[in-house]
Structure 1
Amino acid sequence: MEKDRKLEHIQMAFDSQTGFPEQDRRFIYEPLLAAHPEKDSHPFSFLGKQMRAPLWVSSMTGGTGVAKNINQNLAQACREFGLGMGLGSCRKILFDKTYWEDFDVRDLIGTDQPFWANLGVAQVEQLLAKKEEQAIVDLIGNLKADGLIVHVNPLQEWFQPEGDHLTQPPLETIQQLLSRIQVPLIVKEVGQGMGRESLRELLKLPIEAIEFAAYGGTNFSKLEMMREDEALQTLHQPFAFVGQTAEQMLKDVNSLVDESEVACRSLIISGGVKNYLDGYYLVSKSKLPAVFGMASAVLKHATGDYKDLKIYIENLLSAYRMAEAYLRVNSAYEGQ
């Protein structure tokens, strides 16, 4: 009843006060300039495929058996909502098909959306040293993927008890891979982001995108630390607080784009993106075509029934479209 609703509003008004410390100064709210957005988004081209929303399902999991349900849920959501998807590390299926079904989801996602395989830079270095780069080509072909994400993780490999030793800078490995096989590449970090000079070098390369995987989200170096004994955890803990945030990385990329021509023309902004407003802000600020990723938030809803994931993404994208309609990025905002 209307009377009950009004009464409820009065009772809730005291609990819904906002204050200046809570104000999100990244945006200017313009309530007069748009109608409520329609449910359907407008398709746009990204990485040579069509997407209907700027949400990237960042590389997560695979090769564990239980990952099959997760990846199938994620692929189904990508098809339904027009999203892009990067697989978790495909190392386990390079030469052994035991866990192949965990990763084999192209038919679920469909051919229109971006779908990318994933290997660590250490595995790429080893394959190139053995002249086994054809295994990468075969992996991409058999998965019917659009290309390869190379995740760069020197700290994670160092902290990992069973980690691989890098014998050369990751940049050299990526350059060698580009010279030896004709495969589209994305390069990403794994939770600590990259500094300005690493970004400068990557932007020079003819890769399809850089994924930030910045500081502030899931940090795989810290994850590996947690597997160590208590003494080593204490010793290595300072490294957990090293890295660049997505906002810091975007500022660097934008200034580098202004300085010179770049070969890499796309960004996947992930790491520390906690909600749709973070994503909207960063995508709006990017001078390169960009989408955003929220790995841990999406993963939490992908572990069970597909319905839970569907409702979550449906609501997230609806809120994102509201942000597009009514919020303008505040050019005077300089961050914290």
Structure 2
Amino acid sequence: MSEPSPVQLPGAVSNDPTAPGRKEDHIELAFDSQVDHGTLDDRFDYEPLLAAHPATGSLPPINWGDHTMRAPLWVSSMTGGTEKAFTINHNLARAVGEFGLGMGLGSCRSLLYDDHRYRDFNVRPVAGSGVPIFGNLGAAQVQHLIDQGQLGMIPQLIDALDLDGLIVHVNPLQEWLQPEGDRFTVAPIVTIRTLIEELPELPLIVKEVGQGMGPASLRALLELPLLALDTAANGGTNFSKLELFRSDDLARSAYGGLVRAGHSATEMVRQINGLTMDDTLTVRCQNLIVSGGVQGFLDGYYLTEIATLPAIYGQASAFLRHAREDYDSLHRYVASQIRGLELAKAYLHPRR
């Protein structure tokens, strides 16, 4: 008896060369692909029936000051003033321009007194004119400029680098633990209010540096006309802990517990949500950057979606890991994050 002829469906391709290998993969990998129900991500409802696969570039645009971002992803402030910083910052700026993101530079303090490392920070020619890029100074440095009557140096810095505004990082624990750190002589909120009064047209972002902020500090910032509040929560890169690594054994023993103080990004977003519902508070801050412990697009998507303020999310160490030498690695990382955001938006509904 002869073998029966294979069934041919109308319009079917007669030969699928990938089928045997694909099916073999499925057999071999099935046992390694079990998911423990205890590890399910309970932040989302997965709704597979309600959307087609999203088109590349389908994220809604985001208004950010004078610019429009194409994805809700912010390159958090990292570095400057070293030879490695030139490669890192220029790779990051290239990705920011290519994908339509936003970027904060590392501390620009050195440029106030010496232009030797100017090229490290001069990233506008790489990123292009269509994306937001912000300078960065510490609260202690801003207060020093106030005390010296030199606040005019800030607009000069912004103009020299063709930036869109300034980030002020508030870091009392880092400064205290840093061997060569500054000492705050004025409460940072007073410094920030004075800066706004003296330079009211300067777009301003205020952030911590890896500890986060409690509700009283958040309330004080929400009342100010900031472009954004950046959580810089505890859970990601913590600059207080970084400084302890630079200290001696006694300092690490005495102050080590301080690095565990602070607030997570999720806690801070929920605190801010509650504060925005407080009828006694006039919210003048326009946007939120959720950063600190944001490990990838699922964290970023969830936290920005549950936020009541218009929100984007920031990352530092993940970008740094891919930006140190190879732009191709950084390009692939950013592309995967944005594609993940598109998929999440199509199929995952955050549980609030």
TM-score (norm 1): 0.97
2: distance between equivalents of 1:279 and 1:66? Answer: 28
| Alignment partner of 1:13 is 2:13 | no
What is the aligned counterpart of 1:106 among 101, 124, 143?
Answer: 124
Match of 2:10 in 1: none
Among 72, 85, 103, which residue is 1:67 paired with?
85
In the alignment, structure 1 residue 197 sits paired with structure 2 residue 216: yes
Residue 5 of structure 1 and its aligned partner are, at CA, apart by 1.6
**Structure 2 residue matching 1:15: 3-state secondary structure:** helix
CA-CA distance at 1:210 after TM superposition:
0.4
Greater shift in the superposed pair: 61-70 or 39-48:
39-48
Deviations, residues 104-142 of structure 1 (Å, cap 9, x unaligned): 111211121111000000000000000000111111111
Runs of 4+ more than 3 Å apart: none
CA–CA separation in structure 1 for the residues paired with 2:316 and 2:36: 31
Question: Which amino acid counterpart does residue 154 of structure 2 have in structure 1?
Answer: I
Q: What is the aligned-residue identity percentage?
A: 51
Please show how residues 101-250 of structure 1 align to structure 2 within 5 Å.
101-182=119-200, 183-250=202-269
How many residue pairs are counted as aligned between the two chains? Answer: 331
Distance 2:241 2:229 in 1: 22
Give, in whole Å, the separation in 1 of the partners of 2:346 and 2:66. 26
Matched residue, 1:276 = 297
What SS does structure 2 have at the residue aligned with 1:66?
Answer: helix
> d(CA) in 2 for partners of 1:297 and 1:4?
34
Secondary structure in 2 matching 1:293: strand
Larger Rg over CA atoms: 2
Matches within 5 A, 1:315-334: 315-331=336-352
Q: Secondary structure at the match of 1:150?
A: strand
Aligned pair partner of 1:53 in 71, 78, 82: 71
Unpaired runs of 5+ residues, structure 2, are 1-17
Amino acid at match of 2:277: D
1:7 offset after TM fit, Å? 2.1
For 2:37, the aligned partner's letter is F
Equivalents in 2 of 1:287, 1:18: separation in Å? Answer: 33
Unaligned residue ranges in structure 1 (runs of 5+): 332-336
In 2, the alpha carbon distance for the partners of 1:261 and 1:126 equals 30
Distance 2:272 2:62 in 1: 22
- 1:313 corresponds in structure 2 to 334
- CA displacement at 1:208 relative to structure 2: 0.8
For residue 44 of structure 1, report the CA deviation from its aligned partner. 2.4
TM-score by length of 2: 0.92
User: What per-residue deviation string (whole Å, max 9, x for no partner) do you get for residues 219-266 of structure 1?
Assistant: 000000111111211111100100000000000100111113300010
Aligned to 1:215, the other structure's residue is in SS state coil
- Give the deviation of 1:39 after TM superposition: 0.8
Aligned counterpart, 1:30: 47
- For residues 7 and 309 of structure 1, what CA distance do their matches in structure 2 show? 32
Give the Cα–Cα distance (whole angstroms) in 2 for the partners of residues 299 and 170 of structure 1.
28
